[in-house]
Amino acid sequence: MGLFPEWTWIVGLFIGAAIGSFLNVVIYRMPRGMSLSEPKHSFCPSCKTRLTIPDLFPLLSWLVLRGRCRHCRNPIPARYFFVELLNGGLWAALWYQHLIIGQDPLQFVGLALFISALVAAIYIDLRYFIIPDEVNAAMLVIGLLLGAAKWFQVGQPAPFLAAVAGAAVGVGALWGIAFLGRLLFGKDAMGHGDIKMARGIGAVLLPSAALMSFAAAVVLGAVLGIVQVLARRFTSAPSDPGDEDGDPMDEPPETIGSLLKCGVGYLFAVDVLGLLVPKVYQSWFGEDPYAVELAEEDPPVSWTMIPFGPYLAGGAIALALAEPWFRGLVAAYWRFATGGLG
């Protein structure tokens, strides 16, 4: 018997949709280097008019206004509705799992906040090919706080130590790919934002589930990436800042020394500390964490370029929702591969 009756999943849906409304603010402002607190009010992206409750009611406002601003009548992107719907649906699923079927409000809160951060990362990375440091730092902090809360709950440090180990596994797995790609092929094989995201995923999901989520991300990337490349190939005209085929000019790959130093920094969360003390960030990484380059509305990237972050986030969401199913799948594969031994 859970904590709440079955019908209360709709409460999770509404709260998640309301959080999704805030995520839309994050997705719009953060890549543009805008403050999340100034201006304090939401505004129409077209006419900049301050929005009030009739404009901001989760899900319903966009539908009732037919996707248009109530003031200037300019279209409001469908992304605003779908972020609220996606986040609301995910919160409803977690609500059902942990508060209706189960009795674990702590796990619900941790996973719900974590998944919301992933939703923001997906939309930002798909649109601008970046994952803000603040979003990645939030995932790590959520994982460590969840581990610390469980430590207090059970009276043993194992949950917190598992979160720390998961963060280390996340950095090691994705940084290892970046390092081997640079060493063997002389190219940048993994974005730094992806490495930091994997650290947060590991802290929340813990080591074994994080590794399963990375495997799921590879499968998602292999299948959906082909579709994404083909769609972009036939719907986008080549842009010029680059060669004859419209591909952007290749930048020189990161030096191995820089990759090593950054990997150590991510392992010890120097980048997270640097968000609180910018001088630490500047000293270690050689740049100001808040000197944000404004994201371009249409980044000049090759049509073959696929951001891995959304697939990494998708794999993590899948494990957060269906970890027992994935463990059963791995166990079944192991029995098949070993002929039933062990």
Q: Which alpha helices (H) appear in 96-132, and where do they start and end?
A: 105-128
* Per-residue pLDDT tens digits for 246-267: 444 567 889 999 999 999 999 9
Q: Which of 48, 83, 103 is the last residue of a domain?
A: 103
Q: Indicate if 75 and 145 belong to the same structural domain.
A: no
Say if CB 236 and CB 338 are below 8 A apart. Answer: no
Give residue 291's pLDDT.
72
pLDDT, one tens digit per residue, over 2-49 is: 899 999 999 999 999 999 999 999 999 999 888 888 888 899 989 999
Q: pLDDT tens digit string along 303-313?
A: 456 789 999 99
**Cis bond upstream, residue 39 (ω within 30):** yes
Measured in degrees and rounded to the nearest 5, phi and psi for residue 341 equal -75, 145
pLDDT tens-digit series, residues 49-65: 999 999 999 999 999 99
Q: Is 21 domain-assigned?
A: yes
pLDDT of residue 339: 79
DSSP 289: T
Residue 112 in domain: no
Cα–Cα distance, 169 to 189 (Å, whole number): 18
Half-sphere exposure of 293 (CA within 13 A, CB side): 8
pLDDT at 342: 54
Instruction: Please tell me whether residue 297 adopts helix, strand or coil conformation.
Output: coil
User: Do 173 and 270 belong to one domain?
Assistant: yes
Q: Does 156 lie in the same domain as 63? A: no
Query: Is 70 exceeded by the pLDDT of residue 237?
Result: no
pLDDT at 236 over 70: no
Helix axes 79-95, 105-128, angle to 10 degrees: 160
Is the domain of 266 the same as that of 144? yes
**Could you tell me if 304 and 171 lie in one domain?**
yes
What does the alpha-carbon distance between residue 145 and residue 160 come to, in Å, rounded to a whole number?
8
Do 79 and 216 lie in a common domain?
no
pLDDT score for 293: 52
In a domain, 127, yes or no: no
Model confidence at 244, pLDDT cuts 50, 70, 90, reads very low
Question: What's the CA gap between 76 and 78, in Å, rounded?
Answer: 6
Residue 306 resides in a domain: yes
Helix-helix angle 192-205:105-128, to 10 degrees: 170
Contact 309, 174 (CB under 8 A): no
pLDDT tens, position by position, 168-188: 999 999 999 999 999 998 888
The parent domain of residue 228 ranges over 132-342
170 part of a folded domain: yes
CA nearest neighbour of 62 among 45, 47, 80: 80
**DSSP alpha helix (H) spans, 186-255:** 192-205, 207-235
Does residue 117 lie within any of the structural domains? no
Select the more confidently predicted residue: 122 or 338.
122
Answer whether residue 119 is part of any domain. no
**Percent of the chain at pLDDT exceeding 70:** 88
* pTM metric for this prediction: 0.91
Same structural domain, 155 and 17:
no
Q: Are residues 19 and 136 in the same domain?
A: no
Does residue 266 share a domain with residue 159? yes
Residue found under tokens 């901001």: 56
Same domain, 64 and 189: no
33 in the same domain as 161: no
State the Cα–Cα distance between residues 143 and 114, nearest whole angstrom: 8
Q: Contact 278/288 with Cβ under 8 angstroms?
A: yes
For the chain, the domain total comes to 2
Long-range contacts of 2-5 (CB under 8 A, 24+ apart): 2/99, 2/100, 2/101, 2/102, 2/103, 3/99, 3/100, 3/103, 3/105, 4/95, 4/99, 4/100, 5/100
Are 120 and 26 within 8 A, CB to CB?
yes
Average pLDDT over residues 181-200: 93
Task: Indicate the average pLDDT of the chain.
Answer: 89
Q: What are phi and psi of 300, to 5 degrees?
A: -80, 85
Whether residue 305 is contained in a domain is answered as: yes
Same domain for 90 and 204, yes or no, is: no
